[in-house]
Structure formats: C-alpha cells, structure tokens
Amino acid sequence: MVEIKNKEHCNGCSSCAASCPKKCITMVRDKLGFFYPMVDKDACVHCELCISVCPEQKKAQPVTVTPLAYAAIGKEHTIREKSSSGGVFTLIAQWILSKGGVVFGAAFDDTAHSVNHIAIESLEDLHKLQGSKYLQSKIGNSFEKAKSYLEQGRTVLFSGTPCQIAGLKSFLKKDYERLYLQDIACHGVPAPAVWDAYLTDLEHQFGGKASHVSFRDKRKSWKKYLLRIEFENGNVYSNNNAEDLYMRGFLHDCYLRPSCYACKHKGLGRDSDITLADYWGIEQIHPELDDDQGTSLVIVSSPKGEELLQQIADEISLTPTDLNRAIEYNTALITAAKDNPARKKFENEFQKKPLRSLLKKYASTSFFKKLKRKIKRFLKL
C-alpha cells in the first residue's frame, strides 16, 4: 500500500491511483494544492501495484543513447507567435491530429484558476494546449484514457513534465508503437493553491473574472516575457516576469512541489522520445538565429523522436547544436531546483497572512542581485 511519509518521494503523477484495481486510491490536495494519494484502507487488498508503478521507487536507468540536439524555429509566424518558444510542439501536435491521433497536454480550466491534463482530437482545440502553464497540472484519468486510445490502435502524443511522462510509462508497463512521449525542461512545478489565491487577488483588483492567461507573453520580447492576464470586463494586467510577484516566487523556488527539490527525472537518460525547451543562450551559441522571437531547443532521445522531427521538417528551420553548450544556459535540464531556505516559512504562513505580503517578504530580490543583473546587462552592451 502506497504511503507518503516524506513529500519529497511523491511527484503527484497519479500512476498509483490509475493502477489500483480496487480504485481505492484518491488523489487529494494539500494546503498548497499539490495532489497526494490517499488510500481507503478498508478497500485495499494489499496487491502493492501502486508501489510497483511509482516512478519515484524505481532506480534511474543508465543512459544508453547519445541524444541529438537542435535549435528549431517554426517557419509559420502565427504559430511561433502563439508559442512559448519556437512553435515545435504545435507543429508536432498538428501532425499527430492530422493522422487521426490524440494529443494529451496541460490546459487551463474555464476559470483559468487551475490546470488539468486533457485529451484533444481536433485542431480547433489545440490552442488549449499551447503556451506554458506555470503550475502543476492535475493528471486525473489521462493515463487510463491514453491506454484506452492506444488499445484501440490510435496514435497518441502525450506531453508533460518529465515526472508525468515517467509516471505514464510506468503505468502502461509496456511500449506502444503508436505512443509518442514529449517532455519539457522543467524548472519545477509551483503550487496550484498559490496561483489560485494570486489570481483571485488580481480579479478583485481589476474588478472582473480572468478570461485568458499567458505566462509567456512575448509580444514585446521572448527573453523578457510578460505575465499577461485579460479580464472579462476588458481590463488587462501585464508585468515583466522579473517584477510580477507570482513569477518572482516561482523563480525564487518559494513554493515548488517538495519532490522538485530532489527531482529524479533530470539528466539526459529520459523516458521521453523528445524534449522541448527554450533555447536560452541562443545569442551566444547561434547568434545568427537570434531574433528574440523564440527559439526551441529540441533534444531527441529515440528513433521515435527523430521520426517526429522528420514529419515536420518542411515546417521548421532546424540547426544541429552542441547539447553540452546548450545545457550551460538551461541547467533545469540536468539540475533540480535549489531548496529555498524560506520555503517552509512561506508554507506555514500561507493561508494565514495576505499572499501579497508573503510574496514581497519571501520573493524579493536583494540589492546585490539587482546590482549583479545591471552589471551583466551593462557588459552585454
């Protein structure tokens, strides 16, 4: 029977709940909104399937392939414009859908207060999966749905964080020819309850319900992206990622899931076929590709990943790149988030004190860090 004694040992992937033959495991939220398994002990038959599928219980496998890496830019401007970086996910998803396939990914609910994993089968719904969502998504029954589609002979693209991909793969227990797995360079997943509280505060401030959220609005700049929120009454909130309180708390690692600080799914020996990331540092490595409109770093870890790239080859500009150099500018690929010493204080005070005051207290940038940033900007001039 699965039992969480240390929250660092659970990534919330829901593979345990999906695998339980008695359906006696429910994923319940803690006060930060993170999901953890709760077992109905009276219904449990102690088959231990929940333990056997848990990706956190498994040892990391040695890297057996040398990943290939590319800098990628979608040729169609409108697709790239709506994407967090180069538009590669959208193009891959379009190909899957054109073949009658199903695409799984993270989407906001109707209120924009939470993110759920959903399945789409039409191009009209693809916009729901586009763009970054900086909070942990609820998997729900997506693993069971993906398996059902695969058993029907459908082609499935499952997009998620590395731990979600590991959870799905463990749940399925076998490889499927028509399954394509795509993960991301994940910094860590912020607390859903913090976002819910933050958005509620902004809705009060702007006098209306949120109608659209973009965590990575790049209409002014890709490198200095904005958090932009549109409200039903026509008001708009827009702020630089370095200034917005929620984004500062996220980037300061104030309220990530505990497992993110001890993440077992970093590195290049991934469960996915293809990994997508922002190509930070593109101006240093491939300055000829840098137009500040977004460039994707694409890491291919399997023949299936290479197949996906080949299917969209005519729609992207693809440049082979040095993966080791790219990692220097995107260490989230290989390194877990650093545990903020103030994290537990924030958690203890959350729901007891006004969120804005907590964010200002624990997510502030010191004078010396601000000075360091200014010096770096000056040296680049």
Q: What is the pLDDT of residues 216-246, one digit of tens each?
A: 999 899 999 999 999 999 999 999 988 999 9
Can you tell me the distance from the alpha carbon of 167 to that of 55, in angstroms, rounded to the nearest whole number? 6
Query: How do beta strands 25-29 and 236-240 pair?
Result: unpaired
What pLDDT score was predicted for residue 60? 67
Convert the pLDDT of each residue in 263-297 to its tens digit: 999 998 889 999 999 999 999 999 999 999 999 99
Average pLDDT of the segment spanning 50-77 = 87
Q: Which residues of 254-284 are buried (b: 16+ CB within 10 A; e: fewer)?
A: bbbbbbbbebbbbebebbbbbbbbbbbbbbe
Average pLDDT, the chain: 93
Mean pLDDT of 56-65: 73
Task: Find how far residue 254's CA is from the centre of its chain.
Answer: 17
Residue 378 reports pLDDT greater than 60: no
Which CATH class name applies to 7-57?
alpha beta
The per-residue pLDDT for range 16-44, each reduced to its tens digit, is 999 999 999 999 999 999 999 999 999 99
Answer yes or no: is pLDDT of 370 > 50.
Answer: no
User: Which comes out higher in pLDDT, residue 136 or 66?
Assistant: 136
- In tens, the pLDDT along 134-169 reads 999 999 999 999 999 999 999 999 999 999 999 999
Residues 6+ apart with CB under 8 A from 294: 73, 80, 83, 84, 85, 86, 87, 218, 222, 278
What are 139's two structure tokens?
Answer: 């998997």
Angle at 74 between CA 73 and CA 80, to 5 degrees: 100
Look up residue 22 and give its DSSP letter. Answer: T
DSSP E strand stretches across 84-131 = 102-108, 115-120
Range 47-60 average pLDDT: 89
Largest CA distance in the chain: 66
Cα dihedral across residues 45, 48, 51, 52: positive or negative: negative
Q: 116-138 as b/e, with b when 16 or more CB fall inside 10 Å?
A: ebbbbeeeeebeebbbebbbbbb
Distance CA 149, CA 145 (A): 6
Residue 372's pLDDT is: 47
d(CA 115, CA 130): 12
* Domain definitions of the chain by residue range: 7-57, 62-381
Q: What is the pLDDT of residue 64?
A: 67
Q: Tell me the pLDDT tens digit for each residue of 177-195.
A: 999 999 999 999 999 999 9
Tell me what the mean pLDDT of segment 54-59 comes to.
87
Q: Do the bridges between strand 115-120 and strand 102-108 make them parallel or antiparallel, or are there none, so unpaired?
A: antiparallel
Q: In this predicted model, what pLDDT tens digit does every residue of 280-289 receive, in sequence order?
A: 999 999 999 9
What is the predicted pLDDT for the residue at 61? 65
pLDDT in tens, 298-320: 999 999 999 999 999 999 999 99
Residue 248: the pLDDT is 94
Cα–Cα dist 324/327, whole Å: 5
Q: What is the DSSP letter of 353?
A: B
Output the pLDDT for position 381: 45
C-beta neighbour count of 46 within 10 angstroms:
8
User: How confident is the model over 90-111, as pLDDT tens digits?
Assistant: 999 999 999 999 999 999 999 9
- Residue 380: the pLDDT is 46
**Looking at the whole model, is its pTM more than 0.85?**
yes
Higher pLDDT, 6 or 93: 93
Instruction: For the chain, give the percent of residues with pLDDT over 70.
Output: 94
Q: What is the pLDDT of residues 324-344, one digit of tens each?
A: 999 999 999 999 999 999 999
